[in-house]
Amino acid sequence: MYNENGSRYKGDNGYLLQVTQDIDLLKKDDKELSRRVGVLQKSKEVHTISHPADHGRIINSSEPISENNVTDRKPTGSEVNYAPENRISPIGEERNPRIGLAHDLLGHSYDFDQGTTRSGTSENGVPNEEVDAVKVENIAGKAQDTPEKTTYDGKTITPAELSAPLQDVK
C-alpha cells in the first residue's frame, strides 16, 4: 500500500490494514496466488483498491483503466472495488470476501496488467474473462475448503474449461 505521493503507507486505517491482511493471506493460500500478487506489486501499471461505498456502489468489482488496452491485449492498470465485509458476489452468490478479492484482483486485474484478458465466450456462453477469473477464484476457494465453483451467472463452466491452464501469455 502506498500514499498518493508514492511513499509506503504506514498508518493505521482499518480498511487498508484489512485489505493488506487479506492479500497477505491469499499469498499464503497458494503458490500461484502469491506469484500473481508479486507480479502486480512489481508492475509499472497501477492497481487501486478502494471500498465500493466510496463510489456509491455496494459490489466488489475490477475495471480496467483502459478498455482500449484490454481490447488490444496491452497491459493496463485497474480499479478494484473491495468490501471485506461483503459476502455476496456481483451476481448474487454467497462467497467469502477474500475469494472475491482473488477473483477481481488476481483474476481480472492480473489479466489487465498482463494484457491477457480473453474476449469471447465459452461454449456455454460464459465470458472467457469470467472463466479465467473463476479459475483463480477456485484456487483461493480450494485453500479455504470452499467447493469448486462450476457456474457463472447461472451458466455452467465445463470441466474442460475449468481444468485448462490459466492464460498467462498473449
pLDDT in tens, 47-67: 999 988 866 666 789 999 999
Residue 9 lies in a domain: no
Task: State the pLDDT at residue 163.
Answer: 93
Model pLDDT, residue 55: 64
- Residue 169, in any domain of the structure: no
Average of per-residue pLDDT across 42-47: 96
- 7 falls within a domain: no
More reliable by pLDDT, 20 or 93: 20
- For residues 169 and 142, what is the distance between their CA atoms, to the nearest angstrom? 24
How much is the pLDDT for 92?
76
In a domain, 2, yes or no: no
Q: pLDDT at residue 42 above 90?
A: yes
Q: How far apart are CA 30 and CA 88, in angstroms?
A: 23
How far apart CA 154 and CA 93 sit, in angstroms, is 10
Q: How confident is the model at residue 86 (pLDDT cuts 50, 70, 90)?
A: confident
pLDDT of 4 > 80? The answer is no
**Cβ-count burial 139-152 (b if 16+ within 10 Å, e if not):** bbbebeeeeebeeb
In a domain, 32, yes or no: yes
Distances (CA, A) of 18 to 38, 40, 112, 115, 159: 18, 18, 24, 28, 34
Residue 1 forms part of a structural domain: no
Domain hosting 99: range is 14-163
Please give the Cα distance from 25 to 80 (Å, whole number): 18
Q: What's the mean per-residue pLDDT of the chain?
A: 90
Asked whether residue 6 is assigned to any structural domain, the reply reads no
The total number of residues shown for the chain amounts to: 170
Where does the pLDDT of residue 124 fall: very low under 50, low under 70, confident under 90, or very high at 90 and above?
Answer: very high
Percent of the chain topping pLDDT 70:
94
Please say whether the beta carbons of 60 and 90 come within 8 A: yes
The helix/strand/coil state of 41 is: helix
58 inside domain: yes
What is the mean predicted confidence (pLDDT) over 73-83? 95
91-114: per-residue pLDDT in tens? 777 888 999 999 999 999 999 999
pLDDT tens digit sequence for 136-157? 999 999 998 999 999 998 999 9
Contacts of 126 (CB under 8 A, 6+ apart): 152, 153, 155, 156, 157, 161
SS3 64: strand
Q: Is the pLDDT of residue 28 over 70?
A: yes
Residue 43 clears pLDDT 60, i.e. is over it: yes
- What's the domain count of the chain? 1
